Structure 1
Amino acid sequence: MLLAVLLMSMRFVSDGYKVGDTVADFKLKNVDGKAVSLADRKDVKGYIIAFTCNTCPVAKAYESRIIALNEQFAPKGYPVVAIQSNDEQRSPGDSYGAMQQRARGKSYGFPYLHDETQAVAKAFGATNTPHMFVLKKEGDAYKVAYIGAIDNNQRDAAAADKKYVEQAVTELLAGKPVTMPTARAIGCGIKWRDA
């Protein structure tokens, strides 16, 4: 029984993109009702993708850090794109309407996309909220440069001494390889639809 539970909880962990993989573009509905894809922005050097939600306490604790990452790196060519993939039947507080309210209330300066079918989360291999992916643009393609946590302190941003996403983007902007391309994502598990 325990093995079955572990296998079920890991069903999407082994799938999904790895560092170095090319990401397939997607088109998801933003909280403003417009469809957004990676190809929409021609001026970017890459993206910081944040799988997050409205309801997870860990995601809420990291929300200000996601906003700060966008403020720091969007002007340098690495904007944030937040994606909410929880099934709203299992997590009503993550409905599209609730997403719109949260984005307005927190004055998000980045898209907050609804992954209603969960296809994008599955493609990425996202398992948690938050789960971060840094994508580097190469030609017209986007390659995964970092996967994992934002930093190493979920309670206190000021106490974090390893800022994984910030370090990855800073290294990419300097033309250097990412020295720590993965870190274990922490947070609530994505609420998958019942199969």
Structure 2
Amino acid sequence: MQRYIMTSLALYAASFAAGIAGVSLLSALLSIGALFLIAVFLMKAHSLLIALKDKFWDKLSGVWLGGEYSAALWLFLLSGIGSEALLAIISSQFESIAALFPIDAAQGEVINQEVLNKAFALAALSLGLAALAAVGLAAWAYLIEVFTRDVYLIKVATGVGEFRPYSATFYILLSLITLGFLYYFWLYSLWRWISQLTSSTK
């Protein structure tokens, strides 16, 4: 599972670099690849948690909170892909539309109706992007919350493992402050926590 994290991090870094260089399409494709690998990793992590839950259900039945993992994972993945696709479209269209506006529009020169229509379409796409980004951000934060919480619940209920996660808020803020790069610290930590639980309970 570690290879999913490392490969996704490499793709994310490359996407970040492509975005800075102004290659929006390549940046979007690399970012989608990174996002897909994260989703695969989280799905596998969820399967391992379910196996642990089933194995220790007698100890966990009174404390297991669970969560809508599947729905959140699909929202995270699909909204992320949609956001990247819309961002690439908006980036590619923005310069071409801006170039069509007359230089002297501020002095009263008439703007072509076709240009206005394209500008309104771009604004609508931007609103769609904002909505998708909000959904994706909520699903992303929710997944950090439930994975961190449920891993710790299993640890406490079973008495195995030698880890103590920070609060989910810490990992969320750390990820946001570092533009997503230290989100991979949480992913790596999650892998280590689950590895401890599975190896200690065999």
Shorter-chain TM-score tier? under 0.3
Structure with the largest fraction of helix? 2
Which structure features the higher share of strand residues?
1
Structure with the greater alpha carbon radius of gyration: 2
